[in-house]
């Protein structure tokens, strides 16, 4: 409770943020934050703090709802790997490429939105598939790779951040569960409209696509891009990446439909017929397992992949996402410890005497944006800000959905703009743009979206008061 720990309740999150800034690595920062929280909570037994911290991590991971979300986060990596092994992403990209009816900007932009929206499972796959598929199209219509990188990066991360049935959503639900939110999936659905930075970014991309609005460093690259690139880009004949591309592309679409359908059916089943009352953690876990089974069996029955190959891909893919699982476990543990320390309530007691609650949402957004830009990580920002924002909302009477949306929006901003963000690096590689050029040309547009979001959070703070 804040009366018991006072300013000491701020020590763990401050240490975590400081280490994340210093090391640019989130997992070690979270581990130290957990240890420091245990030292504060059990000050009478400081030497036992390491053992207590380990026990707390284990017990947090063993909570059924948390374990379901952790398993989902790992298995989604396995599902992506199975689809990669089938070459479903490549085939889908090829089908889209061959379906063009003449290369025009409007058509290229439509493909950009289509790929960015359909590939909602994970940001890396989204950007890589979109980038490798659309590079030549952007060259042919005289649009710079830097503008392309802005479009692909912004659409991918905004869509993935707001879709409630991927690994990001599992992370959100775990953080909410740690703050005793009764129905985290339903809470997440209700909060999506308040992730204002993502909405503002998607709207701005639409405006830029339709008007060609260009300002800042991007002007220089756009002038150079008026002359199309190498003739190889304009040849128009591309060899199929594999046999039976139509079948493989259909397999991707059918698997995604399976994922969404099983989520909805599971929510209805676990909610007594009402999806609004369903168990979100269980639903997404059932859905990813069903989708893996469908992808593997359909691949085997159609002869494009053997079950042994699917098994190997599944195991390898789960291994690739082990780091995500570790991050989730540590973030959930730190969140529960911050709750025990009463950090959010203590901050609320400080803010109540100095700031009106209407400014909490823009303040959380700005702090989260600065933190994520400096560290290059959205997950680390979520892990620190959500355990502060939810109790702050409860104590102050501010809208919890609005403050949660501000946390997510702030974390996405840095992931979308920071030169040390993994998605920035992947986007630069996928579009064959220089990283520093991508960051420099995208940042002015991102700042416009951030300014709109900040004003929106302030206005909603008064409207929802």
Tens digit of pLDDT for each residue in 383-442?
888 988 998 898 888 899 999 999 999 999 988 988 867 788 778 877 888 888 888 899
Q: Which of 70, 94, 136 is nearest to 252 (CA)?
A: 94
Lowest mean pLDDT among 87-91, 304-308, 314-318: 87-91
**pLDDT of 205:** 95
Residue 375 CA to residue 297 CA, distance in Å, equals 41
**What rounded mean pLDDT belongs to the chain?**
84
pLDDT at 124: 73
Say whether 87 sits in a helix, a strand or coil. Answer: coil
Predicted local distance difference test score (pLDDT) of residue 353: 67
Residue 191 buriedness (CB in 10 A; 0-12 / 13-18 / 19+): buried
Task: Name the band, by pLDDT with cuts 50, 70 and 90, for residue 312.
Answer: very high
**What contacts 391, CB < 8 A, 6 or more positions away?**
179, 339, 342, 343, 344, 345, 348
Question: What integer is the mean pLDDT of 21-36?
Answer: 82
Query: For the ranges 29-33, 57-61, 268-272, 290-294, which has the lowest average pLDDT?
Result: 268-272
pLDDT value, residue 410: 94
Taking 80 as the threshold, does the pLDDT of residue 107 lie above it? yes
Q: How confident is the model at residue 14 (pLDDT cuts 50, 70, 90)?
A: confident
CA distance 354 to 368: 20
User: Is the pLDDT assigned to residue 330 strictly greater than 70?
Assistant: yes
* pLDDT tens digit sequence for 215-247: 888 888 877 665 555 434 444 446 676 777 888
Alpha helices in 64-144 (DSSP H): 64-85, 88-98, 105-118, 123-140
Structural contact between residues 225 and 145, judged by C-beta atoms closer than 8 angstroms: yes
The answer to whether 75 and 318 are in contact (CB under 8 A) is yes
How many CA atoms within 13 Å lie on the side-chain side of 453? 37
Q: At what angle do helices 184-191 and 280-301 cross, to 10 degrees?
A: 90
Structural domain boundaries of the chain? 65-223+241-322
Contact 196, 409 (CB under 8 A): yes
Task: Name, of 13-27, 94-108, 292-306, 440-454, the range with top average pLDDT.
Answer: 440-454
Q: How confident is the model at residue 177 (pLDDT cuts 50, 70, 90)?
A: confident
Residue 321 in this model has a pLDDT that exceeds 90: no
Q: Are 327 and 377 in contact (CB under 8 A)?
A: no
pTM of the predicted model, to two decimals?
Answer: 0.75
CA dihedral 407, 409, 410, 412 (to 10 degrees): 120
Can you spell out the DSSP letters for 381-443? HHHHHHHHHHHHHHHH---HHHHHHHHHHHHHHHHHH-TT-HHHHHHHHHHT--HHHHHHHHH
Q: 315: closest CA among 52, 85, 161?
A: 85
Greater pLDDT, 17 or 440: 440
Q: Measured between alpha carbons, how far apart are the two ends of the chain, in Å?
A: 26
d(CA 280, CA 428) in angstroms, rounded, equals: 35
Q: Rounded to whole angstroms, how far apart are CA atoms 34 and 15?
A: 10
- Whole-number pLDDT of residue 111: 84
CA atoms within 13 A on the CB side of 214: 14
CB 371 within 8 A of CB 160: no
**What would the mean pLDDT of 343-364 be, rounded to a whole number?**
80
Of 115-119, 131-135, 142-146, 192-196, the poorest mean pLDDT is in 131-135
């Amino acid at each position: 409770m804040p009366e018991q720990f006072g300013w000491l309740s701020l020590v763990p999150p401050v240490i975590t943020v400081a280490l994340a800034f210093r090391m640019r690595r989130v997992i070690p920062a979270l581990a130290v934050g957990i240890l420091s929280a245990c030292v504060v909570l059990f000050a009478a037994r400081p030497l036992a703090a390491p053992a207590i911290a380990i026990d707390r991590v284990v017990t947090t991971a063993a909570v059924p709802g948390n374990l379901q979300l952790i398993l989902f986060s790992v298995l989604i990596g396995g599902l992506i790997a199975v689809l990669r092994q089938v070459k479903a992403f490549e085939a889908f990209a090829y089908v889209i490429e061959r379906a063009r009816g003449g290369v025009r900007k409007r058509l290229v932009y439509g493909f950009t939105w289509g790929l960015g929206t359909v590939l909602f499972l994970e940001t890396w796959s989204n950007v890589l598939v979109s980038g490798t598929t659309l590079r030549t199209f952007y060259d042919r219509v005289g649009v710079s790779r830097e503008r392309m990188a802005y479009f692909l990066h912004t659409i991918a991360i905004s869509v993935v951040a707001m879709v409630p049935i991927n690994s990001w959503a599992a992370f959100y639900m775990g953080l909410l569960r740690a703050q005793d939110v009764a129905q985290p999936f339903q809470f997440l659905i209700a909060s999506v409209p308040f992730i204002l930075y993502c909405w503002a970014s998607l709207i701005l991309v639409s405006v830029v696509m339709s008007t060609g609005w260009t300002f800042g460093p991007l002007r220089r690259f756009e002038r150079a891009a008026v002359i199309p690139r190498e003739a190889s880009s304009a040849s128009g004949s591309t060899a199929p990446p594999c046999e039976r591309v139509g079948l493989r592309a259909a397999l991707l679409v059918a698997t995604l439909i399976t994922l969404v359908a099983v989520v909805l059916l599971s929510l209805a089943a676990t909610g007594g017929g009402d999806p609004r009352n369903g168990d979100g953690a269980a639903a997404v876990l059932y859905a990813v397992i069903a989708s893996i089974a469908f992808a593997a069996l359909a691949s085997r029955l159609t002869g494009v992949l053997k079950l042994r190959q699917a098994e190997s891909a599944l195991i390898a893919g789960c291994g690739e996402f082990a780091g995500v699982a570790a991050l989730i476990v540590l973030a959930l543990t730190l969140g529960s410890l911050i709750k025990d320390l009463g950090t959010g309530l203590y901050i609320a007691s400080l803010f109540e005497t100095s700031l009106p609650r209407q400014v909490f949402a823009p303040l959380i957004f700005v702090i989260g944006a600065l933190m994520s830009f400096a560290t290059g990580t959205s997950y680390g920002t979520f892990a620190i800000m959500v355990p502060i924002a939810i109790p702050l909302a409860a104590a102050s009477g501010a809208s919890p959905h609005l403050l949660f949306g501000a946390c997510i929006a702030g974390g996405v901003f840095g992931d979308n703009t920071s030169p040390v963000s993994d998605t920035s690096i992947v986007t630069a590689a996928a579009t064959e743009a220089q990283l520093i050029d991508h960051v420099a040309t995208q940042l002015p547009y991102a700042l416009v979206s951030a300014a709109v979001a900040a004003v929106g959070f302030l206005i909603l703070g008064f409207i929802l008061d």
